[in-house]
Amino acid sequence: MAYHPSLLVASLALVLSTAIARAQDAPRPPVAKQVPHVQEWHGARFEDPYFWLRAKDSPEVRAHLAAENAYTAAMTAVQKPFEETLYQEFVGRVQLTDLGVPTRVRGYCYYNRTVEGLQYAIACRKPAKADGTIDEAAPEQVLLDANAMGKDLAYFDIGGSEVSDDDQWLAYSTDTTGFRQYVLQVKDLRTGAVQNDLAERVTSFEWAADGKTLFFTTEDPVTKRSDTLWRLPLGKPPEKVHVEADEMFRIGVARTRDRQWLLLAIGSTDTAEWRALPAAAPGGEWHSVLPRQKGHRYQVDHREGSWYVTSDLGAVNFRVVQVPVGKPELASGKEIVPHRGDVQVESFDVYATHAVVTEKAAALTRFRVLDFATGAWRELTFPEPVYAAFGGGTPEFTSTTFRIGYQSMVTPSCVYDVVLATGERLLRKQTVVKGYDATKYRSERLWAKARDGVQVPISIVSKEGHPRDGSRPLWLYAYGSYGFGMPATFDANRISLLDRGVAFAIAHIRGGDEMGQQWHKDGMLMKKKNTFFDFIDCAEHLIATKWTCADKLAIEGGSAGGLLMGAVTNLRPDLFAAVHSAVPFVDVMNTMMDASLPLTVGEYLEWGDPNDKAAFDYMRSYSPYDNLAPRQYPAILVTTSFNDSQVMYWEPAKYVAKLRTVKRGDEELLFRCKLEAAGHGGASGRYDRWRDEAFEMAWMLRQVGVTK
């Protein structure tokens, strides 16, 4: 039977009207208004029509952010069942009621424990037995229960805690907004009475030996630079001790492991100074261990009348020198650990009979133990080709063991105590991951050749037998700033990726310290673009070696890693399928040109001083916000917190608003801003964090074709 033309016309009209109706019903992205605003920098005018989004107290700004959240919720409604599946997987792998490994400090063993259904860990202690182990039969004393303290609060964080030398007082700090603005409090561990709100904007604190005097540091109320040291005799008003005037420097207070000295750390990106005060003389004067010298970074610890100085003076990867307290001159000191061009000294931990040097080489951490009595060294080795190891957690100077944390991309976190005299490792705990079988997964180290010939390490994990035919999705993560290397750690939530046929990789790009301090120097200041080029070259290597393809490559980075995400998507938007940019530093020029913003001036030594025209031009050439242009971008999810104190919410808000006006194509561009109390790291409670991660993972996987 012939198809009548009138029926064809009617059919087409019906299809068209249905499509129009669906388009009208489809969620529409918020359109941020444009308000004329001109900045004048270096004699030129720069328009920024979204500058108004910086007005944090404006109801219009908050309404715009709420509209972005509503749009994101509507666009991701389809993935809600997938999110719930992922969330249940995350929670199902965790031993929700668990006990941490106790740490002995004098007569007590301290530990944290978690309880199913509760968001936060509970800090406790029990008496230690004569052999130093915990007295299990003794009653438990709860020191801090964040669940009770943060009840009915959207956000609660304990910044730190310190017990006095007589074990009777507990100093601690809390933040209830996510803005990292901590309040100092002291608890009487005999009665439970709390002295509240002793100081605001507290950044560090430490007891003197008398158990009655507390030293603490505070930050500037505008720039959030930690700049003032105070002395607080309990029951009396605090006394100002030191104000650091140089805006490049931040300060913090600490104590040597032997408890003999209080230390004031004063540091910038490239320079350090340490001042010391006998812990038994809290009313005395602080004296510099080594004078401040531009370009000299060092750390100190003390043992038997000597300072052990870890110094980069003429040694880019640091060396360790022993000098007498009365005459601390590096030139005449005894070299304990020499400088090596391919090995970075990360720390030097001093104990009564031994010392442990933590070193990094070829993007792997290792430990060597020095016996002071014999001068002999012993190295600790690890069996896996890719792993992460961390020292610390051994506060007692007289300890005969050294605690390390060990894990890999396939091995859940382990805690070992290493016997210093023999090297024997005593496994204290391995994190339980329910239903996990490590033999089903494989991790390895890859090397990508960057465009300038440098070999860049990549750590990668996948399910055993993962096909290498270019058809499978891959999730690539990187950071690459501040000399912070990204360790190849274990993440139980990552199993949900691997079990769905997705490989996960970390690109150890320049800007971190995985290959030593020069690795950082080659990815900062006027060499910052190496960071972005390395990431692109790593992505291309993974595609060329058939780990994935551009249509299946999802990438992620946060904070300075969010800058990385913005830069590489501007440079190579064709190379990626999906991007998660978390709390991203993307409005580089507006931030770096505003010295009143938190942390800005001190950042000049990492990124460059934009008041210098050459540095300004270089930064502007990669600033993500300033280099958005009409092109087809991949799907992008941007997340942040309204109360983030490190990267202000308006950076990602402005970035998304501008990107909406230039992007081509119909790939998703979503923005999620936590308007409730939350910080740079997002939510504070563990269940809330799992919910957020399930949302982000579901979105990323959906972009590469994985939907359940």
The catalytic residue positions are 559, 644, 680
The whole-angstrom separation of Cα 567 and Cα 477 is 14
The whole-angstrom separation of Cα 691 and Cα 362 is 36
SS3 311: strand
The whole-angstrom separation of Cα 309 and Cα 327 is 13
- At residue 254, φ and ψ (nearest 5 deg) are -150, -170
CB-based contact 249:221 (threshold 8 Å): no
Contacts for 376 with CB less than 8 Å, ≥ 6 apart: 370
Other CB atoms within 10 A of residue 40 CB: 8
Six token digits for residue 20: 């129009």
Q: How far apart are the first and last CA of the chain?
A: 45
> How far from the centroid of its chain's Cα atoms is residue 538's Cα?
22
**b/e string for 293-303 if b means 16 or more Cβ within 10 A?**
eeebbbbbbbb
The whole-angstrom separation of Cα 252 and Cα 262 is 11
Six token digits for residue 389: 């190891």
The whole-angstrom separation of Cα 63 and Cα 360 is 48
CB-based contact 561:479 (threshold 8 Å): yes
Q: What is the dihedral of CA 16, 19, 24, 25, to 10 degrees?
A: 150
SS3 331: helix
Cα distances from 186 to residues 218, 621, 684, in angstroms, run 16, 49, 22
The whole-angstrom separation of Cα 253 and Cα 346 is 20
The whole-angstrom separation of Cα 357 and Cα 346 is 8
